[in-house]
Structure 1
Amino acid sequence: MLEIIYSDDALVVVNKPTGLLSVPGRGPDKQDCLYHRMLEQFPDALMVHRLDMDTSGLVLFARTPEAQRNLSMQFEKREISKTYIAVVEGVIEKKVGMVDFPMRKDMAHSLPPRHVVDCVRGKKALTEWKVLERTETTTRVALFPQTGRSHQLRVHMECIGFPIVGDPIYGTPAERLMLHAQSLEFRHPETGEPIRLECPAPF
């Protein structure tokens, strides 16, 4: 059973485990996914956004077409705030920073899917970060994506020299990718009331 963080008649927020696709992929071996599991508990669940397979944390679903349109528009207008927790390789000396590198999909690599920084053809991608804790070899950071590009946080941290621990594409594979969507802030699609939900990182 999935861990439900919040639910009402308009929406559901769930804690996606690492290693689970958000939506089905190509082929019969990629049909097990968060969306299909959600339909077993909430037959009216509608996708609003997704997380990478290796990323854990909060995913928001709508329960009516009207709520889906409203929440999707909030994402499109960047009115939804997201906070991720990550552990990266290396020690970051600065306390806060910003990565402003355009990105695009790297069509030269189909498996695994990769994205790259491209200042000419890439789409705008902006990530703010804040150091939370340091060890001798790693840094725990809070990441605040201001745009929603695929693999944005993973690519941005790798391109400034601090790949996320356990990243099988942009870093060194390990037991899991140390990236977790910890909080979401948005307006309720029916009442307009602000909602802030949290799910602490399991690492």
Structure 2
Amino acid sequence: MPVAIGNYAPPKGAIPIVWEDDHLLVVDKPHGLLSVPGRGEHLRDSLLTRLQEMRAEVLLCHRLDRDTSGIMVFALTKEAQRRMGRLFETKRVKKRYVARVWGEVAEPRGTVDLPLIVDWPNRPRQHVDNEAGKPSVTDWERGAVEDGTTRMVLKPRTGRSHQLRVHMKEIGHPILGDPFYAEGPAGDFDRLMLHAEGLKFAHPITEKVLRLEVPAPF
């Protein structure tokens, strides 16, 4: 069964380095580890704090949910952080995720276009709100179908909180092991089956196109 939402027992061990130079540090975030510290000393342990303990100059560029694993980019200078942030803001970073979802998806590909907003009484949950929600769009492609589940490639055009998780739930195929949006047997897995597999962007300083990838561990 998934770990209770209120519990925080992050995995230990070294953080794998995917790529680095004088400006950027790219790592593979393990699932179950916060990207940044939460409120309170019990939530201080995070990917950012661990990296800063090794290299004080490490700066945040973007985030992944605690339960999502995969590729994350950090800056090593203020200028690289500023420019990398601009790339994310202007949607010039192409993101690719892999997920396993409940059920056998019939169509080979599709797009989910549903605006999202925080569900305040139940935060950090998000929900669809066609009037007040922010535009949220996800392209998806079906992969292998096995044992009543489907492997999916997800390519978000926007970067809303919990976007992929809510969008998959809304099309009737929640991500396996999701403690917020999967119910019944779909939630009966030891982790959220969502992984940030790839990023493509022009290096913020050298402008060389980088294609970085970390295969999904599931």
**TM class, shorter-length:** over 0.9
Question: Is 1:138 aligned to residue 149 of structure 2?
Answer: yes
Partner of 2:9: none
After superposition, give the CA deviation of every residue in 1:43-100 in whole Å (9 maximum; x if it has no partner).
1111000000000000100111110111110101000001000000000000000000
Aligned match of 2:161 in 150, 166, 188? 150
Number of aligned positions between the proteins: 201
Q: Give the secondary-structure state (helix, strand or coil) at the position aligned to 1:93.
A: coil
Indicate the SS of the match to 1:6.
Answer: strand
**How many angstroms apart in 1 are the aligned matches of 2:50 and 2:188?**
26
Opposite residue 75 of structure 1, the aligned amino acid is: F
- Secondary structure of 2:56's counterpart equals coil
Residue of 38, 46, 54 corresponding to 2:51: 38
Q: 1:94-120, CA deviations, whole angstroms, 9 ceiling, x for partnerless residues? A: 00000000000011113xx10001110
Give 1:195's aligned residue.
210
**How far is 1:17 from its partner?**
0.2
The alpha-carbon distance between structure 1 residues 17 and 188, as it changes in their structure 2 partners (threshold 3 A), is: same
Distance in 2 between residues matched to 1:173 and 1:60, nearest whole Å: 31
Tell me how far 1:42 sits from its aligned partner.
2.1
**Matches of 2:78 and 2:103, distance apart in 1:** 44
Aligned-partner Cα distance in 1 for 2:206–2:27: 20
In the alignment, what sits opposite 2:81? 68
The aligned residue for residue 132 of structure 2 is 121
- When the two chains are superposed, the root-mean-square deviation of aligned CA atoms in Å is 0.8
For the 8 Å contact 1:182–1:198, the answer to whether it is kept is yes
Partner of residue 183 from structure 1, selected from 182, 185, 198: 198
Say whether the 8 Å CA contact 1:168–1:174 is kept in structure 2: no
- CA–CA distance in 1 between the matches of 2:198 and 2:146? 24
Distance 2:169 2:40 in 1: 30
Measured after TM superposition, the shift of residue 31 of structure 1 is 0.4
CA shift for structure 1 position 147? 0.3
TM-score after normalising by structure 2: 0.91
Asked if the contact 1:166/1:176 (under 8 Å) is kept, the reply is yes
Q: Which residue of 2 aligns with 1:54?
A: 67
TM-score by length of 1: 0.97
**Do the aligned residues in 2 keep the contact of 1:48 with 1:60 (CA within 8 Å)?**
yes
**What is the percentage of aligned positions where both structures have the same residue?**
49
Written as runs of structure 1 = structure 2, the 5 A alignment for 1:11-30 is 11-30=24-43
Whole-angstrom CA distance in 1 between matches of 2:114 and 2:65: 20
